Chains A and B, each alone.
Chain A
Amino acid sequence: MTSKPLKQVHLAAHFPGVNNTTVWSDPASGSHIEFESFKRFAQSAERGRFDFLFLAEGLRLREQGGQIYDLDVVGRPDTFTVLTALAAVTEHLGLTGTINSTFNEPYEVARQFASLDHLSEGRAAWNVVTSWDAFTGENFRRGGYLPQDQRYERAQTFLDTAFELWDSWGPEDVLADKDSGRFLGSASAGTFGHHDGHFDIEGRFNVPRSPQGRPVIFQAGESEQGREFAAASADAIFSRYSQYDEGRVFYDDVKGRLAKYGRSRDELLILPAATFVLGDTDEEAAEAAREIRFQQVSPATAIKFLEQLWNTDLSTHDPDGPLPSFDPVESDVDGLISQGRASVRQHRDRLDAAAKWRAKAEAEGLTTRELIVEVTGRQAFVGTPQTIAETINRFVQDDVADGFILVPHITPSGLDPFVDKVVPILQELGVHRTEYDGSTLRDNLGLAHPDRPEAKRVSA
């Protein structure tokens, strides 16, 4: 055994999203839209010395069977606006927003992120997502005409263009020198031009360089193209692989792609989403986790999940009976029974997936609902605070991940038990900060500032 220095565990908090993770029926469950909830949640994360808060986004309410999906929390705030408001009630917490590169324009998104970075004094991050469906496009001027295979091409040019806009101002361009009367150091500050098949734009960007130079870039997407996009351009990946084996494979795969872009392995962090359930004993936690899973998958929700795979109306199917005996229905994207879910969650090979579900249900004697409980979103970390802290630490030291984006199942108080009980143990293990040592999100993540690339990660 060599005495490699311990990696620090990066922790982040995902404001519970619009999906069935959130148990809204719990008496402790509060508002998902009022600012007080966001404030309380963010302040808990900051109390736990987390790196950042994370918000997902979907630009059209989800539908199933032609109806607005009503079983999960529905409704969310505008990402930029709520993150900027949160900057007023936190000091160190990074603010990561998921923003789509299909239904936005670079000039506007670049100025919104630069503004967030200024107004939070260096805490902005952008999770670049590429959903391109025509269903979502119906809410926008530009519509949803992007062919699927162009989504990352547009995302890459969008991001390149955003970089050009942010870099169009140098750190010294604003002099604001009252004595000499020079406000700008250069008459051409902000000048840019980008001309290709996606964007044909030029002029002057109007937000001077922000504290982080550029916001931190996240990527969430799993295809080959998505991984290359991350390896080329992202500072961090939001992934789904929180389990040991799958996490190791994903970690090695993505980190292995960095060299060809001239980047080192510590320039891209892998941060999977992870749920957790705490208990006084491991058995008690396991029992609580099981109960929560059944709350998350009500009989009605189980049927909806089943419909998403079978791609047909199963409203009369018995959730406490076996899986349907017939095969799923194939259709093109526009004909799917479920619309508006991040495409990654849509099933790719229905017949194959249904066969696997049936085999598992038969082998283990599971009803439809029990099977759905098993195959959809089991909690990542279940146990005593000690067990969870040790597991998280082991996963990080073993390169399953560089840290985790925690998704509590209760809003807004669900993070508190983790902060109160698990964080102190991680601090004692010497793998999580007791005080913030920098002022920007790049500092929290140990990422270099683009204007000072020599200032490399210190922890790692």
Chain B
Amino acid sequence: MTEHLHLAVALDGAGWHPAAWREDDARPADLLRPSYWVDLVQEAERGLLDLVTIEDALRLQSEDPFVPDERTDRVRGRLDATLIAARVAPVTSNIGLVPTAVVTHTEPFHLSKAIATLDYAATGRAGVRVQVSGRADEAAHFGRRQLEPLSSTRELDWSDPELRRRVTEAFDEAADYVEVLRRLWDSWEDDAEIRDAATGRFIDNTKLHYIDFEGRHFSVKGPSITPRPPQGQPVVAALGHADIPYRLIATSADLGFVTPHSAADAADIVGRIRTAQAAAGRAEETVHVFGDLLVVLDDTDEAAHARKRRLDERAGAELTSDAEIFVGTPAGLADLLQEWQAAGLTGYRLRPAALPHDLVRITEGLVPELQRRGAFRTSYATDTLRGHLGLSRPANRYATTAQSA
């Protein structure tokens, strides 16, 4: 039997091609309107996708990953991703909602209750992708710490020990941050609310727990002000391109997004994450590894390549990406997905080059193609994100008595 693939779509602005906003079907004036996001996520849900991610950053977009610019010909400005997810939650019913959150400058206490609340609003469909920030301009928006840019060029030089030290430190802080999120989600036992009229007690306060986290960068007392969310633990995701972030995925996440460029590359990355996972004592736990692909999809290869050329011309430069760029038909993409799946990936996060065009090619082209091959669900079997990902509802780390699942 073919293992089903998991599919996510990464939503960002008008799409991942810098010229996407000028396409005929693009809605660049609507990027800050609720209907834009509702329409996209409902389309993804029609395609039975596991989840959407929503990009975010605490700065304005820029062409270069590390340095700001003053361009006026690209999409600039965005909304808080967690709040976009919250706005969409009540008007969708099955799809997982995974906003991006920057952990370097924010309070884990605030993010923990925000994602717990998203999980309530979405009745069990929330996740969060934690993102480390290494940018000087982002740090200057908060003024709490000074950061030199990680790199003055687009490429990071991993042989530089100072760079490795700084990246390690930032990701160690992210791991602490996720630990705090998770402890806070567990800081209320599921049956803490008792409403006992006889004693007048609304809660059994022995079932609420201080998390007493003390780390290098922050300490947090707890408990959360928000009760344990419906999924117990919302899904934690992280994107990684190198061993240091792979370690964060392996130690702290349920879902890793990686950027292989071939089946062999995929096998190598998955191997590294599995090794790190075992080293972290999590060999028995499910950690999904999804391959990220930027996709340009049309009914024929020629049409897809022609569209990409047109977009590149408009942008004044050939598209570049940290992820592999796929240009072709849904069937061709399905071939690639299955081939790399055999190398160990459990799913994919597809970055549509242009919205809604490439999203619709995913939901109306790729998904039916995978279904014909027996490689993708034909209806949602569960209504929680953990459920879609085959993750059970975890026991509460603080509970002393057996918990109901």
Contact = CB atoms under 8 A, between A and B. Distances in A.
Interface of A: 24-25, 33-35, 39, 58-61, 67-78, 80-82, 84-85, 87-89, 103-105, 107-108, 111-112, 114-116, 118-121, 138-142, 169, 174, 176, 178, 181-190, 199-208, 210, 298-301
Interface string B51-95: 000000111110000001011111111111011101111110000
Interface in B112-153: 113-114, 116-118, 120-121, 123, 137-138, 140-144
A203 B220 contact: no
B200 A60 contact: no
A82 B121 contact: yes
B226 A33 contact: yes
A292 B388 CA distance: 46
B68 A204 contact: yes
Contact of A33 (B88, B120, B142): B120
B386 to A, nearest CB: 18
B77 A190 contact: yes
Contacts of B29: 174, 176
Contacts of B225: 58-61, 75-76
B195 to A, nearest CB: 6
A70 B77 contact: no
13 contacts: A70-B201, A70-B205, A75-B226, A78-B113, A78-B116, A88-B38, A139-B222, A174-B76, A190-B76, A203-B141, A207-B78, A210-B32, A300-B199
Contacts, number: 229
B202 A71 contact: yes
A104 B327 CA distance: 44
B202 A85 contact: no
Contacts of B143: 199-201
Interface stretch (B20-28, B241-249, B368-376): B20-28
Given A78-B110, A119-B34, A202 B140 contact: yes
Given A115-B79, A203-B137, A176 B28 contact: yes
B109 A139 contact: yes
Contacts of A178: 21-22, 26, 28
Contacts of A206: 57-61, 76-78
B140 A201 contact: yes
The 7 closest A-B pairs by CB, nearest first: A176-B28, A85-B121, A138-B221, A81-B117, A115-B80, A78-B117, A77-B117
Given A81-B118, A87-B87, A118 B220 contact: no
Given A24-B195, A201-B143, A80 B83 contact: yes
A77 B202 contact: no
A39 B90 CA distance: 9
B33 interface: yes
Contacts of A299: 200
B113 A184 contact: no
Contacts of A77: 113, 116-117, 120, 226
Chain A at the B interface: mostly helix, strand, loop or mixed? loop
A88 B58 contact: no
A84 B87 contact: yes
A71 B83 contact: no
A255 B178 CA distance: 48
A58 B120 CA distance: 19
A107 B133 CA distance: 15
Given A85-B89, A111-B80, A206-B60, A140 B113 contact: no
Given A39-B90, A75-B226, A24 B83 contact: no
B77 A187 contact: no
B87 A187 contact: no
Interface size class, chain B: 35 or more
Contacts of B356: none
Contacts of A185: 72
B219 to A, nearest CB: 8
Contacts of A84: 83, 86-87
A118 B21 contact: no
A174 B314 CA distance: 19
Contact of A105 (B71, B113, B121, B142): B142
A183 B28 contact: yes
Contacts of A121: 33-34
A88 B79 contact: no
A69 B204 CA distance: 10
A70 B203 contact: yes
Contacts of A80: 80, 82-83, 86, 114
A191 to B, nearest CB: 10
Contacts of B84: 115, 119
Contacts of B107: 103-104, 140-141
B226 A78 contact: yes
A81 B74 contact: no
A418 B70 CA distance: 54
A187 B117 contact: no
Given A78-B226, A186-B72, 17 more contacts: A35-B123, A73-B202, A75-B226, A75-B227, A77-B113, A77-B226, A80-B83, A84-B87, A104-B110, A107-B141, A116-B83, A140-B107, A176-B31, A182-B73, A201-B142, A204-B68, A208-B32
Contacts of B114: 78, 80-81
B202 A115 contact: no
A110 to B, nearest CB: 10
A166 B23 CA distance: 30
B381 interface: no
B39 to A, nearest CB: 13
Contacts of A82: 86, 117, 120-121
A25 to B, nearest CB: 5
A181 B32 contact: no
Contacts of B61: 206
A82 to B, nearest CB: 5
A70 B197 CA distance: 12
Contact of B88 (A88, A141, A174): A88
B87 A183 contact: no
B269 interface: no
Given A116-B83, A184-B76, A206-B57, A25 B195 contact: yes
Given A140-B107, A189-B76, A298 B200 contact: yes
A111 to B, nearest CB: 6
B123 A208 contact: no
B223 interface: yes
A42 B220 CA distance: 33
Contacts of A199: 143
B224 to A, nearest CB: 8
A39 B88 CA distance: 14
A103 to B, nearest CB: 7
Interface in B233-272: none
Contact of B142 (A35, A61, A107): A107
B77 A68 contact: no
B234 to A, nearest CB: 12
Given A139-B222, A140-B220, A200-B143, A115 B83 contact: yes
Given A85-B121, A141-B218, A206-B57, A112 B91 contact: no
Given A176-B28, A301-B200, A187 B83 contact: no
B99 to A, nearest CB: 10
B348 interface: no
A302 to B, nearest CB: 10
B126 to A, nearest CB: 9
A182 B72 contact: yes
B117 A108 contact: no
